[in-house]
A and B are shown apart, each in its own frame.
Chain A
């Protein structure tokens, strides 16, 4: 593709990317520095803050017992719910299909902070205590639409005659689905699950409302620490999160065209 773009374009693009990535780079750099005063660039490199992270009961719990667990559960359950919903939308013709699709994707349209508030008020009305399960419930609402999008895109690109071919060879509809369609949807399912995990893991807006003292997620912990002037331990926690999510996105990018999800 021959491009003769104007000379200021590339420098501008580089500048925007620098601005975009600067906070992440700074956080990672600070997490390796020795000083508690968020010094950049760090004078020397140390793993001290990472050790502090693993020694902090609160942080470790929020990372492994809450964020990670909820994330994995959200990934699995959102994939199940979302795949079913996507199949219902794509493979069946019925009155009001467009409306139902809009309804299923509605959580993408609702501002997260308001959803968090609504769920909080709802749980409070029913006197449900905040726990990992209330958090999971909220996350499923915001994660499933992403799965629906990837699986829908995968289904639309799938030839329905493949299932028919399988049935003409003797498979029942269910068998044809599990032996033909599902394997071909593998990349959609996997990337949907990955996105569900990422959305759940990095969610802050919902968690601020519906995670309780026993179920504080990592981002909420970081949020309160920022307000109370924590030390670079939270930088270490953030670096870990950046690395995990970065790797997951790399994997997702390999198996699925990323921009179809956003």
Chain B
């Protein structure tokens, strides 16, 4: 195939999607960037002057608290996901193929069902007339307010994002041959010592990847905190939604959005690189 023809073929193949991304990803965000440096006006969409006020606003107490809360809840979610997800990852990595296939399905399935539905389920469980309170009533105890607070949000976030912690760790552990575990035991290590000195250090890439993924997903979450949290103790995603669709302060929303992207973009990108390299190696014969 001649060079010119090759180039044309390549353009025909990769061009459409590239164009698509350009118009529906790059341009919209460029638009957001433009909004972010113009001041807000309630009558017009924005005024033609340039300003950094929208970014400086982020250092106001309200926004600082907002980001502080968001980053804190993200960190808590990540930590809980590690504690609950790591054993699950080890189990999946070392179980028999049939068991693994079933358990993988049970792990991925909730992921693919919309977050709304999972949150809905939690509301049924934790709500005022929900399962937990019904159970308490059976024992004659007063109903507990479990929803619409930070604890509920963390429960929801952990539930939604834990597969993103489990899968990279599982992939990491699978690459550790079982003979290494047996060798450590043969040399005198009980299970805990073997785990601490052999599995854990070798699973760090997966652990890191999972942590980055869960953290960046958590700090940019919307549906879960919106439905299970409250408006006063909101997370950054809720603030963006509010400023775009409720108060129509698009410049402010834009600066907020870009700040959030800066926070998550780097994290997600690193995590993506790590998992992509791993999945490429698995796919190759």
> Taking the complex as a whole, does A directly touch B, i.e. does some CB pair lie under 8 Å apart?
yes
Q: A interface vs B, CB < 8 Å?
A: 1-6, 9-10, 12-13, 16-17, 19-27, 30, 37-40, 80-82, 84-85, 87-89, 92, 94, 100, 102-115, 117-122, 125, 137-138, 140-141, 144, 148-149, 152-154, 156-157, 173, 198-199, 201-205, 208-209, 219, 222-223, 226-227, 234-235, 238, 241-242, 245-246, 249-250, 253, 257-260, 262
The answer to whether residues A153 and B115 also contact, given A109-B268, A117-B253, A249-B105 and a CB cut-off of 8 A, is no
- For residue B90, which residues in chain A have a CB less than 8 angstroms away from its CB? 5, 9
Min CB distance A197 to B, Å, is 10
Instruction: Decide: B121 and A27 in contact? CB cutoff 8 A.
Output: yes
Q: Contacts A109-B265, A223-B227, A258-B108 known; A22 to B125 CB distance under 8 Å?
A: yes
Given contacts A22-B121, A262-B108, contact A88 B14 (CB under 8 A): yes
Closest to A10 in B: B91
Which 3 pairs, one residue from A and one from B, show the smallest C-beta to C-beta distance? A23-B121, A88-B14, A111-B220
**Interface pair A117/B159, CB less than 8 Å apart:** no
Chain B residues near A (Cβ < 8 Å): 1, 6, 10, 12-18, 20-21, 24-25, 27-29, 31-32, 35, 45, 84-85, 87-88, 90-91, 94-96, 101, 103-125, 127, 129-131, 134, 159, 162-164, 167, 170-171, 178, 182, 185, 191-192, 216-217, 220-223, 227, 237, 240-241, 244-245, 250, 253-254, 257, 260-261, 264-265, 268-269, 272, 275-276, 279-280, 282-285
Known: A40-B124, A81-B17. 6 other contacts (CB 8 A): A23-B118, A87-B14, A109-B272, A219-B117, A222-B120, A242-B113
A104 to B16, CA, bound (A): 11
Q: Is A253 touching B101 in the complex (CB atoms < 8 A)?
A: yes
Q: B15 contacts which chain A residues (CB < 8 A)? A: 84, 88
Q: Quick check: A118 and B29 within 8 Å, CB to CB?
A: yes
B240 touches A100 (CB 8 A): no
Q: How far does the Cβ of B211 sit from chain A's closest Cβ, in whole Å? A: 15
Give CA–CA (A6, B125) in the complex, Å. 31
**Cross-chain contact of A26 among B101, B131, B241 (Cβ < 8 A):** B131
Q: How far is the CA of A154 from the CA of B282 in the complex (A)?
A: 11
A100: chain B residues at CB < 8 Å are: 14, 18
- Chain B residue at minimum C-beta to C-beta distance from A243: B113
Q: Indicate if the CB atoms of B223 and A204 lie closer than 8 Å.
A: yes
Q: Are B268 and A113 in contact (CB under 8 A)?
A: no
Contacts of A262 in B (CB 8 A): 108, 111, 163-164, 167, 275
Closest to A201 in B: B114
A239 smallest CB distance to B (angstroms) = 9
List chain A residues, Cβ under 8 A from B222. 113, 205, 208
Q: A234: which of B1, B45, B120, B131 is its contact (CB, 8 Å)?
A: B120
Interchain nearest-CB distance for B24 vs A (Å): 5
Cα of A141 to Cα of B62 in the assembled complex, Å: 33
- Please report the C-alpha to C-alpha distance between residue A17 and residue B217 in the assembled complex, in whole angstroms: 21
Residues in chain B near residue A40, CB distance under 8 A: 124-125, 131, 134
The smallest C-beta distance from A66 to any residue of chain B, in angstroms, reads: 14
Name the contact of A20 in the complex, choosing from B32, B159, B185, B282 (C-beta under 8 A): B159
Q: Provide the residues of chain B in CB contact with A226, threshold 8 Å.
A: 116, 119-120, 123, 227
> Inside 8 A of B164's CB, which chain A residues have their CB?
262
| Distance A119 CA – B119 CA, assembled complex (angstroms) | 25
